[in-house]
Structure 1
C-alpha cells in the first residue's frame, strides 16, 4: 500500500486500484483523481493545491466526538484469580492469578462496591459488568449473585444493565450456559485457532490440549445463541503463532457474531508485528471476497472502523480506563486496567474507597496526553492502549512505535474497504468527493 499525505488529507493506493483519500479530522472518505494523487507527491499545480487546501481546512458540522464521561459506567470484575489452563502467553501472572491466586471473589464485599458506583449514577444510560478471571466460570455462583444484585439495583431507574464474560470455553456446561442465558451475556470465547495452534498455546494445566473441550462447549452454546446477548471468538497472536488467516478459516465454521484477532499485549517483535498486519489484510480480503461488507464486519476491528466512519464519530480515548471504566480484582482492590491487576503501584482503591487523586491523571484525553495530535489515524485509534505503551516504553503515555505502525496500517486497510463497500460516485464534487 502506498500512502501520501498533505496535512490532514491522507491518500492510499494499492496496485491496480484507484486512489482513496481520508480526511483525518472530519473522518471523510473519498475517491480522488489521478491528477490529485500525483499532485500530493509533486505540489506543482496551484489549482489542485488549492483544492487540497480547501478540503483540508473544512470543518464538518456532522462530526461528533466520543468522549468518556467521569461517571463509572463499566466495571470489570475478576470473580476468580485462578485458571484451569496454562496459556503460554498469559499476561495474568502466567497462570491467571496475576501473581496472587484467589479462588473466588468475596461477594459480600463486592455488593457494597457495586452499590457505591450505582448510587453515583443518574437515572439513565447503561451500567456494564464484564466478568473476567482467571477463568470466571470457575465461580458461576458469584457471577449470578453479582448480576442479580445489579439487576435489582437498576430496576426502576431507567439504567440498563449489560453483562459480558471472557471465558476460555472449557466450562461451557449446560448449567453455565443456562446462567449466561439468564443474564443475557455477551460472551467472548478465547480460542487461537484449530487444535494444532490452540493446543500448543492454550494447554490445560495437566498438559493436555483444550481445543476438543472448547469446541464441544462452543457448539452447545451456539445451538442456543439466540438466548444470549452475542457470541464472539477471540484469538491472541504472538511470534510463536501468527497464523491469523488459518484461525479465521477455522472460526468460519462456527456461526458466531464476531471474530476478534488480537496481537499479544506483551509482544515486541517487529517481524511478528509486520506479519500480523499482512495476515489481517489477508483475512480482510478473504472476508470481502466471500461475503462483502457483511462478512468483513464480522471481524471486530473492521466493524469498529466502519461504525466510526459511518457515524463520523471521533475517538479521543482508546478505552475508558480510569474515566468510565474501573476494575475490581478478586480481593476487591480497584484498578483502572485489567492488565494492571496485581501491580500495587497501579492500585487506585480498595472496597468503596477510590482515590480521586489517583484518577486525576486519567482525566485528560489520551490523544492530547500521548501527543498524538499529528497522527492521521488519531481519531480512529484514540491514543492507543496505555498498557501496551507501558510494556514497550515504561510509560503509559509514551507511545509504542510498533503499536502505532500496526494501527495506521490496519486503519488504512479498513478505509480502503470502506470506500470499496460504499462505492460513492464522487465526480459530481469535482476531483474529490466525500462520504
Structure 2
C-alpha cells in the first residue's frame, strides 16, 4: 500500500513486516499506471513484499487468561447520556458490590495458570468502582500476595468517572501503583451535558477538584489517562483535546461511541482526530502526538514490529467478571448469556481453547493491508453494526485505515528528523 499527502514524498507500507518506506515520485507514478505490473517499480515493490523480516514479532496469543476486568460494583453516581451499561452503570442488574469471598477463589484459579515470568493485569470497573474502594483493596492485596515470590508481575488499572477521589481511595490506588483512566468528554459546557450526576447536576467541577487532590500522589501512581466518548451529539474532539491539556495527564483517549453508526459522524470523527494530531505535532512533535493513545499504540507497533492478530484478546487472553461473579468475554457483553464463559470457579476453558484462532482469520481480514495493525477490529462494534461479531463494520475499518495513514505520515516526519 502506498500513501501521498499534498506535496510530500509518497510512502509505502509493508503490511506483514510493519515497515514504512519513502518511495520516489517516479515509483508512485508508475504504480498508478493502467498496467503497473509492466513497470520496474512494480518489480521492485514485489521483491520488497516477498521479504520476511526475522525481527517481526508474531501477534499470536498464547492460550490463557492474562487480563481480567472486574466490575466491583454495578451502580453509578452519574447518568451519562450514552451509557452502554444499561443506561445507569448497572447493565440492567444493579449490584452494590461484588462478593469478594467468591472473587478470591476465582482469582486463584487464573493466577495458578500464569507461568513464571508472566504477568497478570487487573482492571477495576463498574458502575463506578470507587463506590467500593474496600473491594479494590482486598482484591489488590490478594493478587499481590498470590504473585509474590513466583516471578509474576501484577499490574492494576482503574476506569473511573473521577468524581469520588479522596485521600482514602487514592492511598489504595497509590499502594497498588495503579494506572488511572478518568472518563471526561471535554470542558464543562460539554461534559456537564453528556455526563451529569443522577440528580442532573454537572460533574465536571467534581472531576477538576479530584484532579487537584490527585496531583499530590502523581509520583506514586501509574499512568494517568483522560478518556472521552464521542458521537453525533458530541463530536467536539478539538475542544476536548484543548481542555485535556490543562489537566496534566499522560495520555488522552478519544473513543468513537460503540453505539454510533452514522456515516457523516464517522467521517467527522476522522477529520477531528486529524485536526488534533496536527495540533499535537506542531506543539511538541512525536512526544506530544504520542500522548494521544491511538497514535502511541501505532508508533509502538511500528517501532517494535509487533503484529496484532486479535484486537483485544476478548475471550482468549482477557475476560470480564461482573459484580455477581459471572465471567464474560467482553465488558459490553455483561449480561449476555451467549458470551458468558463461567460463574464462580466453574470456567469453560475448553471454549476458550476452541476460540483461539486469530480474529484476522475469523473476520476474513487476510488480504487487508491494515490487518496486523488492527487485529480484526472490535467484535462488539462489528456485531452492533452487522449483527455478526465476525462480519466487519465498514465504519470501523474506515476509521482504522484513515488513522493508520495519518500515523505513517507523522512516523515518517518523526524518524526523518532524528
Shorter-chain TM-score category?
Answer: over 0.9
User: Unaligned 5+ residue runs, structure 1?
Assistant: 1-9, 426-435
Matched, 1:38 2:45: no
* Aligned-residue offset at 1:297: 0.6
Counterpart residue number, 1:18: 9
Cα distance between partner residues in 2 of 1:52 and 1:333: 51
Q: Match of 1:337?
A: 330
Contact 1:19 1:31 in 2 (8 A): yes
Q: CA deviation at 1:49?
A: 2.0
Instruction: Answer yes or no: is the 8 Å Cα contact 2:30–2:39 preserved in 1.
Output: no
Contact kept in structure 1, 2:316 and 2:353, CA below 8 Å: no
Give deviations 1:377-435, integer Å, cap 9, x for gaps. Answer: 1111000001111111111111111101110001111111101110189xxxxxxxxxx
TM-score, length-scaled by structure 2: 0.97
Asked if the contact 1:30–1:424 (Cα under 8 Å) also holds between the matched residues in 2, the reply is: no
Counterpart for residue 60 of structure 1: 53
Secondary structure of 1:317's match?
Answer: coil
Quote the residue 1:114 is aligned against: 107
> Post-superposition shift, 1:66?
2.5
Once the two structures are TM-superposed, the CA of residue 222 in structure 1 deviates from its matched residue by 2.7
Partner of 1:249: 242
How well do the aligned residues superpose, as a CA RMSD in angstroms? 1.2
8 Å Cα contact 1:222-1:256 kept in structure 2: no
* Aligned partners of 1:336 and 1:348 also within 8 Å: yes
Deviation per CA, 1:149-169: give whole Å up to 9, x if none: 001111110111100000000
Confirm whether residue 356 of structure 1 aligns to residue 369 of structure 2: no
Q: Map residues 159-174 of structure 1 onto 2, 5 A cutoff.
A: 159-174=152-167
Q: For 1:266-345, what aligned pairs fall within 5 Å after superposition? A: 266-345=259-338
If the length of structure 1 is used for normalisation, what is the TM-score? 0.94
Q: Which moved more, 1:34-43 or 1:185-194?
A: 34-43
Distance 2:142 2:62 in 1: 24
**1:256 aligned counterpart, secondary structure:** coil
Number of aligned positions between the proteins: 416
Separation in structure 1 between the aligned mates of residue 173 and residue 417 of structure 2, nearest angstrom:
42
Q: 1:223 aligns with which of 207, 216, 219?
A: 216
Say if 2:41 is the partner of 1:48: yes
- Correspondences of 1:371-390 after superposition (within 5 Å): 371-390=364-383
SS in 2 for 1:82: coil
State which drifts further: 132-141 or 395-404.
Answer: 395-404
Cα distance in 2, alignment partners of residues 223 and 192 from structure 1 = 24
The CA deviation at 1:340 is 0.5
CA distance in 2 between partners of 1:224 and 1:82 (Å): 27
What residue is the counterpart of 2:406 in the other structure? 413
Q: CA deviation at 1:362?
A: 2.2
Question: Which residues in structure 2 correspond to 1:178-197 (within 5 Å)?
Answer: 178-197=171-190
Once the two structures are TM-superposed, the CA of residue 265 in structure 1 deviates from its matched residue by 0.9
In structure 1, the residue corresponding to 2:40 is in which secondary structure? helix
3-state SS in 2 of match to 1:255: coil
Q: Which runs of 5+ in 2 are unaligned?
A: none
